[in-house]
Amino acid sequence: MTITIILIVVSFAALGFLFRLAKGHGSASELLDNPSQHLRPVDIEAFRNLIDPEEREFLRKNLSPVEFRVVQRQRLLAAAEYIGGAAHNAALLLRMGEAARHSSDPATAEAAEKLIRNAFRLRLYAFQARAGIYVCTLMPGVQISPVRVAERYEQMTRQVVMLGCLQYPTRGVPAAM
């Protein structure tokens, strides 16, 4: 009986942790004052290059096995940093979307809902992708391709632009992303 209670408590704590991780934390009011100040730059093309399987094979063919492992580990850690930046930005945009969700303009509210859904998904994908990348750095033979992170990030960027066009104060956000 005691083990069951402990497992239930641990399960709820883990669920709360995952929800907080996916949603992000902080207040939307300080974010809305100057959103571009809080965003981290993410170079999607550089990220795509780091996770490109063809680039990986090119390096494998042209470097010694030892050099390849060192370079690949550095590339994976750089990709994890990009994913971390994208997840951070998604958390900020999630809060912006939550603030815009209650707009009296139906188009703004709808754009905010789409932004919230995609930002939340991106946070979850980023969590999974970072875990996979760290596994790959420990075990070089394992291959993953976190392409969904790049796709979701680009989709979320387009939605921020759309939300900005609908008179939501996204001052400088698309340029900062």
142-173 pLDDT, tens per residue? 777 676 677 777 777 776 666 665 444 444 44
Q: Quick one: pLDDT at residue 169?
A: 47
pTM of the model: 0.68
pLDDT beyond 90 at 111: no
47-61 pLDDT, tens per residue? 888 888 899 899 999
Q: Please state, as a whole number, how many other Cβ atoms lie within 10 Å of the Cβ of residue 139.
A: 9
